[in-house]
């Protein structure tokens, strides 16, 4: 049988642009995998996905016209269970034969190494044709597509994300006789809504992409369409830069089938409005690409991606300019109105905004944030009053008209309004930055004051919601606690803040009214943070064993973790690490077996009954302690580990010559105390027993 290309196209009404890429990929992968499961194609067949606003299609390079015949085996009861002592068939064997539709004589007797033999039924299964299997296969794929909400259309019962008006099912040059969602398959499709005329006939499956482009003015492959738009945008921008991200490019790619780029302009007078407002208005409402100069300042020009190529685009450009003018006028009105009321004059309105039913209003939250920011600023040697002022004002823009229209600008507009009100630049900058980092990979606050209020904001969210039992589960995290935790960790580590995380959590928890938070959730909060910390450190490239070494016990100063991780990563490759890590595990196991509580202070050893190896280890320990402490105080963890490496020979000799768990209780306690002190010293940089050397 010759394997031929298979094309399946669903022609629809306009598909939702934000989910088009996901739909196209799921459709292509689903059809391919279903064909693989039915032995009609191979796993390594070439699969091409096509997705435009009005179609989902998949082209698979090699698909068989029917399944190959294959032998199917069914294992029956064992020989012992299938036959009585006198060789007569048991009910179990008779039932198995009936289920297979054959007589007992037609069953085979098979012996293997793993059993004493069993009955086996083998049958040749005739392969089914492709057109017979395809309808149910496609329906199964359609049911599994990532569609949040389906539609019905016409008088039928078919359901899909959008009404489906055409079906192409082409195997090589043959049209498959299929009926999907009430539509009979054909080899005809439609091209561009305006640039193509009439139905387009596809002579063969693998000509789909080329025919749609040349005759239908449709770029069917989404990546190629995206690349075309990106090239056109950069060519039109010239020396200026595009002030937009990849999300807008992805969305616009899903809105057009034959993209062209036109340039529009707006009145420079609108540039008096903060450019963030203008950019957001252009991108969010109109899907335009704003342009900026080399310094990133917005220019009074923009690019629009149209689905209509024409030699006279003036009407298109003017129409878009007219719509944008109204949008920008609204933004300017909101900005001018907001400036009439200072931030301080908006604070009373925050009392009417509910933060959480059990945690009060946003105004009450600002009081907690102000108190917490003041404490942290004092701990860092910053102005407590400035931090309190910034925290007091940083949520005031939530009740402004501009943020009401564009919630994405909260914080940003607060910074602009603070400067307009004459607030110090440090406070305005802190208000502007207090949401950073907003997502993974986002920038951290650039100012000291912004760092403090950002940390306070995230700590209050984390402790408050966690304390109410709003603990994330699976992919459900409505209050963004994972994001807040990652922001806390990034700020502490990447800003090298000398603050102890347990103390920060304690300050935050105590800022809430007594009894408001559930104390039973408090212990698990540390474990929640620890899990996020593990993930963050793994993303930084550190190995799991080294990470566990620094996370046990829970580190108070996580800003010191990178230096400790780097030192341990190097140390574990040295010869001394082999003996010390193994010795650490042995010491810990011995101490677990010893019931008495050992003293934490190391005293001088009595000369009598003292083994030379014990004395040598004791003296080495005493001589190394001040050196290790000196390096730790200066955060030189590499030097501390190099000093600990001098324990290599004394520890090895001690375990070779000394019986630790001897019968004499006094001697045993003394030796265990010595090992306890060795363990304490070894744990100064990290838990060496976690390292796999």
Q: Per mean pLDDT, which range of 92-106, 218-232, 410-424, 453-467 is the poorest?
A: 92-106
- Tell me whether domains 343-520 and 564-690 share a fold: no
d(Cα 288, Cα 248) in Å, to the nearest integer?
A: 8
Reported as a pLDDT band with limits 50, 70 and 90, residue 116 is confident
The reported pLDDT for the residue numbered 109 is: 87
The pair phi, psi for residue 633, each rounded to 5°, is -60, -30
The reported pLDDT for the residue numbered 67 is: 87
Res 601 pLDDT > 60: no
Average pLDDT over residues 208-218: 97
Res 1 pLDDT > 80: no
Reported as a pLDDT band with limits 50, 70 and 90, residue 591 is confident
* pLDDT tens, residue by residue, 291-340: 999 999 999 999 999 999 999 999 999 999 999 999 999 999 999 999 99
d(Cα 295, Cα 292) in Å, to the nearest integer?
A: 7
Res 125 pLDDT > 80: no
Res 366 pLDDT > 90: yes
Res 521 pLDDT > 70: yes
The reported pLDDT for the residue numbered 136 is: 94
The reported pLDDT for the residue numbered 692 is: 62
The reported pLDDT for the residue numbered 124 is: 76
The reported pLDDT for the residue numbered 605 is: 54
d(Cα 605, Cα 658) in Å, to the nearest integer?
A: 15
**Per residue in 637-657, is it b (16+ CB within 10 Å) or e — as a string?**
bbbbbbbbbbbbebbbbbbee
Q: What percent of the chain has pLDDT over 90?
A: 74
Residue 480 exposed, middle or buried by CB count within 10 Å (0-12, 13-18, 19+):
middle
484 in Cβ contact with 437 (< 8 Å):
no
Mean pLDDT (the chain, rounded): 92
The reported pLDDT for the residue numbered 368 is: 97
d(Cα 116, Cα 466) in Å, to the nearest integer?
A: 60
Reported as a pLDDT band with limits 50, 70 and 90, residue 609 is low
Q: What percent of the chain has pLDDT over 70?
A: 97
Res 608 pLDDT > 80: no
The pair phi, psi for residue 13, each rounded to 5°, is -80, 175
The reported pLDDT for the residue numbered 194 is: 93
Res 514 pLDDT > 80: yes
* pLDDT tens, residue by residue, 412-433: 999 999 999 999 999 999 999 9
Reported as a pLDDT band with limits 50, 70 and 90, residue 475 is confident
d(Cα 245, Cα 441) in Å, to the nearest integer?
A: 14
Res 594 pLDDT > 80: no
For domain 343-520, the CATH architecture is: Orthogonal Bundle (1.10)
Angle, helices 425-433 vs 448-467, to 10°: value is: 40
The reported pLDDT for the residue numbered 636 is: 93
Reported as a pLDDT band with limits 50, 70 and 90, residue 43 is very high
Res 599 pLDDT > 70: no
* pLDDT tens, residue by residue, 553-582: 888 999 999 999 999 999 988 888 887 888
Using DSSP's 3-state secondary structure scheme, residue 153 falls into: coil
Reported as a pLDDT band with limits 50, 70 and 90, residue 598 is low
Place of tokens 């085996």: 73
* pLDDT tens, residue by residue, 235-271: 999 999 999 989 999 999 999 999 999 999 999 999 9
Tell me the domain boundaries of the chain: 4-67+129-216, 70-125, 223-338, 343-520, 564-690
Chain-centre distance of CA 587, in angstroms?
40
Closest CA to 259 of 290, 304, 209, 205: 304
Q: CATH code for 564-690? A: 1.10.730.10
d(Cα 349, Cα 409) in Å, to the nearest integer?
A: 19
Reported as a pLDDT band with limits 50, 70 and 90, residue 604 is low
What is the residue-wise DSSP string for 34-69? HHHHTTSS-TTS-EEEEEETTEEEEEEEEE-SBPPP
What letter does residue 244 receive in the DSSP assignment?
Answer: -
Average pLDDT over residues 190-198: 94
């Amino acid at each position: 049988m010759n394997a031929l290309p298979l094309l399946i196209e669903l022609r629809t009404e306009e598909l939702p642009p934000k989910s088009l890429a996901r739909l196209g990929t799921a459709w292509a992968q689903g059809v391919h995998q279903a064909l693989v499961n039915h032995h009609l194609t191979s796993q390594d067949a070439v699969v091409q996905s096509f997705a435009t606003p009005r179609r989902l299609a998949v082209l698979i390079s090699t698909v068989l016209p029917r399944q190959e015949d294959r032998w199917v085996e069914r294992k029956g009861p064992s020989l012992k269970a299938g036959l009585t002592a006198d060789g007569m068939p048991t009910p179990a064997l008779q039932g198995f034969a009936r289920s297979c539709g054959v007589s007992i004589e037609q069953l085979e007797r098979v012996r293997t190494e793993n059993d004493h033999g069993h009955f086996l039924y083998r049958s040749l299964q005739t392969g089914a044709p492709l057109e017979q299997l395809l309808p149910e296969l496609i329906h199964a794929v359609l049911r599994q597509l990532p569609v949040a909400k389906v539609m019905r259309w016409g008088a039928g019962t078919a359901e899909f994300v959008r009404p489906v008006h055409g079906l192409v099912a082409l195997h090589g040059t043959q049209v498959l006789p299929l009926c999907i969602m009430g539509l009979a398959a054909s080899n005809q499709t439609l091209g561009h809504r305006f640039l193509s005329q009439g139905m387009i006939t596809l002579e063969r499956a693998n000509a789909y992409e080329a025919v749609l482009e040349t005759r239908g003015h449709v770029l069917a492959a989404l990546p190629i369409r995206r690349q075309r738009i990106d090239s056109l945008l950069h060519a039109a921008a010239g020396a200026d830069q595009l002030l937009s991200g990849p999300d807008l490019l992805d969305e616009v790619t899903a809105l057009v089938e034959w993209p062209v780029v036109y340039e529009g302009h707006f009145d420079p007078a609108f540039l008096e409005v903060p450019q963030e407002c203008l950019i957001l208005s252009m991108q969010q409402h109109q899907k335009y690409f704003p342009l900026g100069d080399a310094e990133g300042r917005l220019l009074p020009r923009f690019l629009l991606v149209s689905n209509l190529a024409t030699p006279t685009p003036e009407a298109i450009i003017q129409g878009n300019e007219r719509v944008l003018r109204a949008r920008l006028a609204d933004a300017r009105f909101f900005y001018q109105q907001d400036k009439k009321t200072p931030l301080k004059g908006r604070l009373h309105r925050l009392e009417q905004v509910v933060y959480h039913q059990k945690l009060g209003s946003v105004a009450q939250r600002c009081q907690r944030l102000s108190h917490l920011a003041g404490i942290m600023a004092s701990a860092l040697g910053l102005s407590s009053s400035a931090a309190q002022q910034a925290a007091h004002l940083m949520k005031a823009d939530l009740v402004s008209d501009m943020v009401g229209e564009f919630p994405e600008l909260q914080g940003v507009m607060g910074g602009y309004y603070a400067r307009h009100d004459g607030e110090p630049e440090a406070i305005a900058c802190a208000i502007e930055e207090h949401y950073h980092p907003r997502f993974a990979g986002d920038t951290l606050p650039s100012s000291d004051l912004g760092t403090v209020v950002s940390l306070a904001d995230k700590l209050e969210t984390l402790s408050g919601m966690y304390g109410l039992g709003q603990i994330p589960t699976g992919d459900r995290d409505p209050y963004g606690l994972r994001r807040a935790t990652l922001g806390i960790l990034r700020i502490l580590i990447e800003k090298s803040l000398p603050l102890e995380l347990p103390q920060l959590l304690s300050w935050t928890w105590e800022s809430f009214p007594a009894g408001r938070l559930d104390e039973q959730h408090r212990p698990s909060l540390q474990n929640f943070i620890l899990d996020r910390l593990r993930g963050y450190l793994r993303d930084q490239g550190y190995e799991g064993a080294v990470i566990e070494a620094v996370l046990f016990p829970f580190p108070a100063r996580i800003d010191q973790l990178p230096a400790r991780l780097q030192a341990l990563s190097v140390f574990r490759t040295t010869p001394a690490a082999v003996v010390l890590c193994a010795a650490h595990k042995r010491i810990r196991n011995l101490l677990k077996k010893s019931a008495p509580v050992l003293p934490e202070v190391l005293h001088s050893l009595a000369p009598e009954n003292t083994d030379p190896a014990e004395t040598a280890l004791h003296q080495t320990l005493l001589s190394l302690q001040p050196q290790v402490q000196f390096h730790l105080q200066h955060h030189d963890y590499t030097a501390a580990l190099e000093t600990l490496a001098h324990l290599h020979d004394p520890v090895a000799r001690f375990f070779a010559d000394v019986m630790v768990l001897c019968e004499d209780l006094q001697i045993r306690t003394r030796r265990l105390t010595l090992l306890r002190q060795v363990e304490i010293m070894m744990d100064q940089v990290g838990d060496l027993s976690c390292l796999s050397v």
